[in-house]
Structures are given as structure tokens and as C-alpha cells.
Amino acid sequence: MPITKSAKKAMRASCRKKVFNLRRKKAVREEWKRLRTLAAGDLKKAVAQLPAVYRAIDKALKRGIIKKPAAARKKSQAARLLIKKK
């Protein structure tokens, strides 16, 4: 447990940031999962879902939750998934 006043404040901030980061990470996972299920079924809906996946990845990248190479890789995988299904 933190002892000093600044350490207590840092812990509170860290806990708040953790909640936001987990929420953003979960959004990326959910959009990716939705894209995969749509790609298995209706391809037109999957293509319409692609911008939502990109948006979730970009927001996570902007907040520093995922790194730039990881974001690029995820975007590439999403596009390749749809190209492979065509």
C-alpha cells in the first residue's frame, strides 16, 4: 500500500486510467469479434463494419493502449480477412 500522499494520489489516478484503458481495449476486441462473425456470414455487412474496427483501433492507438505496429497489424489483418472471403 502507498504511504506518502503523492503515492496515494498516483494510485488513485492509476486505477482511474486502468478503467478507461480496459474499456478501450474491450471495444477493440468486441469490434474485431463482430467483424469476424459477419465475415463468416454476410460479407456486405462485414465490409460496412470495417470502418468501426479501424475507428476502435485508432482510438486505442491515440490513447497509447496499443502501439503503432500492433495497430497497423490489426488493421491489416482485418482487411485481409475480408479480401480472403471475397
Residue 9 has pLDDT above 90, yes or no: yes
- Per-residue confidence at 86, pLDDT binned at 50, 70, 90? confident
Cell numbers for 80? 485481409
Give percent above pLDDT 70 in the chain. Answer: 100
Q: Is the pTM of this model over 0.85?
A: yes
User: 34-46, pLDDT tens digit by residue?
Assistant: 999 999 988 899 9
Residue 60 or 1, more confident: 60
Rg of the Cα atoms in the chain? 17
